[in-house]
């Protein structure tokens, strides 16, 4: 191999590495991003040390829905230097979300069915309770009301209120590690919940 062909080979290797890095950068920042679950707040749907893939692309034209699992930056006035949180969207802009004495969550006056919430040793869903003196929230325009599936282990909108959509990294859609847990994260439906008339 002469110097010229060796130099050409080196240039090809460098071009390939640069192209690979550019593709990785584009995918990581604009399409999909891996995320490691580090909190207990989404048990049993998601367990600590599991990995999910976060969709950062489709939310640009497909708005977040009730039941979506989202990764977001926690409010700076609530916690400092914390890793991103992962929770479930319960309330959309204009929704009124209430936690009642019966331990259920109401959206626009309708109790929602939440089979995904954490079950105790007896197999019973643990009741949802307020985390401060407030038990009813109206979700402003551009915000989402989020809660963890393991309500007793979750710091969520019950504590810090609705979160701005701008703080959301994306929608978790695939659990891919460990391999034994691989599966699509389904978005549940909430039949009977009326659409709010106005968005504040």
Distance CA 158, CA 151 (A): 10
Query: What confidence tens digit (pLDDT) does each residue in 129-164 have?
Result: 999 899 999 999 999 999 999 999 999 999 999 999
Is a pLDDT exceeding 80 seen at residue 35? yes
In this prediction the pTM is 0.86
CATH of span 33-184? 2.10.109.10
Going by C-alpha positions, the residue among 147, 154, 125 that lies closest to residue 41 is 154
Cβ atoms of 50 and 177 closer than 8 Å:
yes
Query: What confidence tens digit (pLDDT) does each residue in 67-118 have?
Result: 999 999 998 877 767 889 999 999 999 999 999 999 999 999 999 999 999 9
In which band, very low, low, confident or very high, does the pLDDT at 26 lie, cut at 50, 70 and 90? very low
**Catalytic residue positions?**
41, 87
Whether the upstream peptide bond of residue 178 has omega within 30° of 0, thus cis, is yes
């Amino acid at each position: 191999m002469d110097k010229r062909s060796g130099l050409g080979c080196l240039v090809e290797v460098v071009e390939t590495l640069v192209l690979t890095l550019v593709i990785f950068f584009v995918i990581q920042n604009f399409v999909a991003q891996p995320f490691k679950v580090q909190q207990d707040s989404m048990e049993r749907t998601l367990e600590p040390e599991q990995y999910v893939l976060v969709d950062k692309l489709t939310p640009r034209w497909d708005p977040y829905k009730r039941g979506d699992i989202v990764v977001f930056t926690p409010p700076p006035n609530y916690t400092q230097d914390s890793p991103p949180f992962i929770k479930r969207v319960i309330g959309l802009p204009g929704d009124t979300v209430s936690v009642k004495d019966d331990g259920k969550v109401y959206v626009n006056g309708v109790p929602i069915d939440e089979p995904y919430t954490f079950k105790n040793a007896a197999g019973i869903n643990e009741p949802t309770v307020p985390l401060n003196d407030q038990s009813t929230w109206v979700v402003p325009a551009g915000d989402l009301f989020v809660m963890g599936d393991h309500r007793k282990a979750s710091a969520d909108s019950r504590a810090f209120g609705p979160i701005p959509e701008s703080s959301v990294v994306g929608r978790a859609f695939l659990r891919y590690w460990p391999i034994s847990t691989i599966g699509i994260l389904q978005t549940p439906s909430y039949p009977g919940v009326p659409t709010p008339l106005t968005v504040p």
